[in-house]
Structures are given as structure tokens and as C-alpha cells.
């Protein structure tokens, strides 16, 4: 591994105007990181990566590198680009074990983070660096959000997230309340009552979008986001049809094959699919059969009826009458993106949302309610991890700036109240 990493590092030209850095949504200083590695300063390179991107270990595995850093590499114009994903993964995973710093000096102020997906984790770490007393409220039993419950183990090992929880959360005294869905027993107003100066909402998009066609409620039909949360509990049979062709659909296809489904077919409305070229190539390599210009008309007990679509030069799609065919299958998984859940908006009715149910914010995540911020998929819709991190860094700075204008907590009113002592021997 190390030899391969150094081969990639030596392939870098160290451009004065690095296109790779411009192509990275979070503007990682790639040439400098590589220069430090080549100078045997791995820890300095690792520190630079983590300070710029708290989720660098994650992004090194799941970023759309071919369209970002590697896709912009000047070496890729005539040959192979520098595969910075390999370099970043080696540096970040090696350096992570050196991260033993405890919490920053407390500044006397609390911040609440609702949701522990990419956005919530990024903001929690940045605010903790400033000395805030941070608590994460997570509706699932473990941290990670879509990283843990929406990306398969073969793409993002859960051990990466477990290590993140130790290195970034526990060591920095960031508290986590699992299985806590704010908007139910606890409300946003309760958080402000209990002294949190600012509340961040990063609840993601967990409500699957439906096709709204006949047969979608049948027992062998499932939604991608539900399936990916715990694929082991599903019995899909030997033949599966996946409707949709985004990255989540590729994850579904490849996961199903790893869980015993023998034949997987993926249907797309057009020839231009939303998934990355890498993910599509892996799916094809593993045996997924693709069908293009197919529109689902009805789901039956025995399969899915698709109608052919004609695709014009401008990309417009028109139905071809009489082209309907039934494609037999044991199970169907619908993968056409997700929308936001409504728990918090039902509780906090003053919070503005758009027609899609996403939170309305300004360019730095401020909602219309003072002290409440939002970012990530709950604002932008389903996006990449690194895009969520890039935007959330701005939001974290805005939260810090806002809370700096507020006074710290006053003296403890119960400081003089007698404390009950216990006999530990009984």
C-alpha cells in the first residue's frame, strides 16, 4: 500500500495553479499535502487534512473523485490522473490513530446538533474546537446518518465511523444522545430552555420519494433508503428490479448481489444516468443488467410493466404508445431519491420550508428563526458528502459568530444546594 501511495505522490507535478484543488468542493490543498508526505511529514499532512475536512477519512472513500480532484488533474488530460483518493485515505487513516487531543478550553456556551450525518458531524467538531459544549441528538442508535445507514459496508466500513466517534466525539467531550428524535418527546423550544445558545438542524432526507403508480404498496416492493438501512432483514428472492439509476440505486444493486440475489436489473428513464461512471462500471462488472428509456407504468404481483420512451436530441422524453412489456421479478426496489421528514417542521411551525419541504436558509445556514441554523441534505436535497461538509463549514462559522454575541451561562443557581452522598459500599 505505502509503495503504491508514494507512486501516486511522485506522479503529482505540484502545479502552481492546481486544478485538482479547484475541482475539490472543499478546496483541499492537495499539492501541499502531497509535498508534506514526500518530505516524510505524514503527521503534518494528516493534520492539514483533518483541519480542513473533519470527514477526510470518509471522503477519501466515498467522494466522486473522477469528477472532482482527480477529474481536474492536469495529468489526466493525456494519461492517468494522480489518484489523490488513495493518498488521502492512507494519510488520514494512518494519522487518525495519532489524534489524542482532548476538548478545547470551555467557553461556557452550549450548542445543539440535531442529526449526526455529514453536516451535523462537521459542525459538531468545528464548534468543539472553539470550546462549545456540544450535544448531538441522533434519532438512530449510532452516529453517522446516511454515512452509516445509507452507504453499504463494502464502500464505507462502519469501523471508519466508529473510529470517528472515538477520535472526534468522545475525546472532545462531544455528547451524543442516540435514539432521540427531536420534535417528539423533546422539542426545539426545550433545547433553548435548557441553555443551548444555537440549534443546528441536519436531519437529512429520509422519506423516500414514491412513483405514485398502481402496485407500489404490494408486499414485494420496497424503497432504497429503507433497504440500505438494514438489507439483512429483506428477502428479495433470486430476481430483483431496481427502478432508478442514481448512486443509491447502484448501492442497492451491488448490495443485493452480495446478499444472495442472483439477477439484478436496473431501469433508467434516460440513457444519461445520475450515478457516477465509477459506480455504474462496478455495477456492470458485478453483473447488473441495465435498461434505458424505460418508464414504469404499473407494478404487479409478478413483475413491472414498463413503457418505452423516445429520447430527443434535446433530452426530452416521450412515451411510445403500445410499447408496454412486463418484466418478471421477485422483488422491486424504488430508488428515485428522498425528501425530508416533517417531525421538526410539525413541531416548529414558524420555520420556513420550500415546496419540497426543505429548510429555507441564507447562504450561511441561518433560518428565519433566530438561533436556528440548518444545512446539508435538509436544505440542499440529496447531495454528496463533501458538498455537505463544504457548506457546513460556513454554517459552523456563522453559528460561532452568532453565539459570540450572546452571554455565557450565569452562575449555577444550585451551587449552594447540599449534595446527597452515597455509601458506595452498599
Q: Which region among 235-239, 251-255, 385-389 has the lowest average model confidence (pLDDT)?
A: 385-389
Mean pLDDT of 19-37: 95
- 317: which 3 cell numbers? 422524453
Question: One fold for both 2-96 and 110-206+340-404?
Answer: no
The pLDDT of residue 103 is above 80: no
168-215 pLDDT tens trace? 898 889 999 999 999 889 999 999 999 999 999 999 888 999 999 999
Lowest-confidence range among 122-126, 163-167, 255-259? 163-167
- Burial (CB count <10 Å: 0-12, 13-18, 19+), residue 407: exposed
List, as own/partner pairs, every contact residues 171-174 make where C-beta atoms lie below 8 angstroms and the sequence separation is at least 24, other chains included: 171/99, 171/100, 171/101, 171/102, 171/103, 172/101, 172/102, 172/103, 172/104, 172/125, 172/128, 172/129, 172/134, 173/102, 173/103, 173/128, 173/133, 174/124, 174/125, 174/128, 174/134, 174/135, 174/136
pLDDT at 287 over 80: yes
2-96, superfamily in CATH?
A: Alpha-helical ferredoxin (1.10.1060.10)
> Domain 209-338: what homologous superfamily?
FAD/NAD(P)-binding domain (3.50.50.60)
Cβ neighbours around 373 below 10 Å, total: 27
Does the pLDDT at position 270 exceed 60? yes
**Is 60 exceeded by the pLDDT of residue 74?**
yes
Q: Is the pLDDT of residue 348 over 80?
A: no
| 3-state SS string for 205-252 | CCEECCCCCECCCCCCEEEHHHHHHCHHHCCCCCEEEEECCCHHHHHH
Residue 3 pLDDT grade (very low, low, confident, very high; cuts 50, 70, 90): low
410 falls in which pLDDT band (50, 70, 90)? Answer: confident
- Reported as a single tens digit per residue, the pLDDT across 374-404 is 998 889 887 889 999 999 999 999 999 999 9
Segment 134-138 shows an average pLDDT of 97
pLDDT at 304: 98
Protein fold of 110-206+340-404: FAD/NAD(P)-binding domain (3.50.50)
Q: Predicted confidence band at 408 (pLDDT cuts at 50, 70, 90)?
A: confident
CA distance 207 to 226: 9
Residue 314: predicted pLDDT: 85
Q: Is the pLDDT of residue 47 over 90?
A: yes
pTM over 0.85: yes
pLDDT in tens, 309-345: 999 888 899 999 999 999 999 999 999 988 887 678 7
| Domain range annotation of the chain | 2-96, 110-206+340-404, 209-338
Give residue 412's pLDDT band: very low, low, confident or very high (50, 70, 90): confident
Distance, CA of 25 to CA of 47 (rounded, Å):
19
Query: Is pLDDT larger for residue 96 or for residue 134?
Result: 134
CA distances from 136 to 33, 109, 393 (A): 31, 15, 17
Segment 131-135 mean pLDDT: 96
Amino acid at each position: 500500500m505505502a509503495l503504491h501511495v508514494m507512486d501516486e505522490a511522485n506522479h503529482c507535478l505540484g502545479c502552481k495553479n492546481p486544478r485538482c484543488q479547484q475541482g475539490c468542493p472543499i478546496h483541499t490543498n492537495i499539492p501541499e499535502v502531497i509535498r508534506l508526505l514526500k518530505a516524510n511529514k505524514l503527521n503534518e499532512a494528516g493534520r492539514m487534512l483533518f483541519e480542513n475536512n473533519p470527514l477526510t477519512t470518509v471522503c477519501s472513500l466515498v467522494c466522486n473523485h473522477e469528477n472532482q480532484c482527480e477529474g481536474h488533474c492536469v495529468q489526466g488530460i493525456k494519461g492517468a490522473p494522480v489518484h489523490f483518493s488513495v493518498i488521502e485515505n492512507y494519510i488520514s487513516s494512518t494519522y487518525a490513530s495519532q489524534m489524542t487531543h482532548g476538548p478545547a478550553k470551555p467557553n461556557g456556551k452550549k450548542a445543539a446538533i440535531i442529526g449526526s450525518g455529514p453536516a451535523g458531524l462537521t459542525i459538531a467538531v468545528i464548534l468543539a474546537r472553539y470550546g462549545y459544549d456540544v450535544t448531538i441528538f441522533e434519532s438512530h442508535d449510532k452516529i453517522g446518518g446516511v454515512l452509516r445507514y445509507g452507504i453499504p459496508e463494502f464502500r464505507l466500513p462502519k469501523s471508519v465511523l466508529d473510529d470517528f466517534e472515538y477520535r472526534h466525539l468522545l475525546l472532545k467531550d462531544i455528547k451524543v444522545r442516540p435514539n432521540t428524535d427531536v420534535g417528539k418527546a423533546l422539542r426545539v423550544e426545550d433545547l433553548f430552555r435548557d441553555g443551548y445558545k444555537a440549534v443546528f438542524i441536519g436531519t437529512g432526507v429520509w422519506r423516500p420519494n414514491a412513483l405514485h403508480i398502481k402496485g407500489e404498496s404490494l408486499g414485494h416492493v420496497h424503497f432504497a433508503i429503507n433497504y440500505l438501512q438494514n438489507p439483512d432483514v429483506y428477502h428479495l428472492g433470486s430476481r430483483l428490479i431496481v427502478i432508478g439509476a442514481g448512486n443509491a440505486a447502484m448501492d442497492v444493486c451491488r448490495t443485493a448481489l452480495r446478499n444472495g440475489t442472483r439477477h439484478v436489473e436496473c431501469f433508467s428513464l434516460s440513457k444519461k444516468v445520475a450515478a457516477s461512471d465509477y459506480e455504474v462500471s462496478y455495477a456492470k462488472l458485478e453483473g447488473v443488467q441495465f435498461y434505458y428509456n424505460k418508464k414504469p407504468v404499473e407494478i404487479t404481483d409478478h413483475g413491472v410493466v414498463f413503457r418505452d420512451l423516445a429520447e430527443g436530441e434535446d433530452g426530452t422524453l416521450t412515451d411510445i404508445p403500445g410499447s408496454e412489456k412486463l418484466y418478471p421479478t421477485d422483488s422491486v426496489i424504488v430508488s428515485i431519491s428522498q425528501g425530508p421528514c416533517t417531525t421538526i417542521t410539525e413541531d416548529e411551525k414558524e420555520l420556513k420550508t420550500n415546496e419540497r419541504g426543505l429548510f429555507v436558509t441564507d447562504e450561511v445556514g441561518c433560518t428565519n428563526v433566530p438561533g436556528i441554523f440548518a444545512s446539508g441534505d435538509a436544505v440542499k436535497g440529496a447531495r454528496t458528502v463533501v458538498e455537505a461538509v463544504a457548506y457546513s463549514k460556513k454554517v459552523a462559522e456563522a453559528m460561532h459568530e452568532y453565539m459570540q454575541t450572546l452571554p455565557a451561562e450565569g452562575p449555577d443557581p444550585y451551587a449552594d444546594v447540599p449534595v446527597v452522598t452515597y455509601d458506595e459500599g452498599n
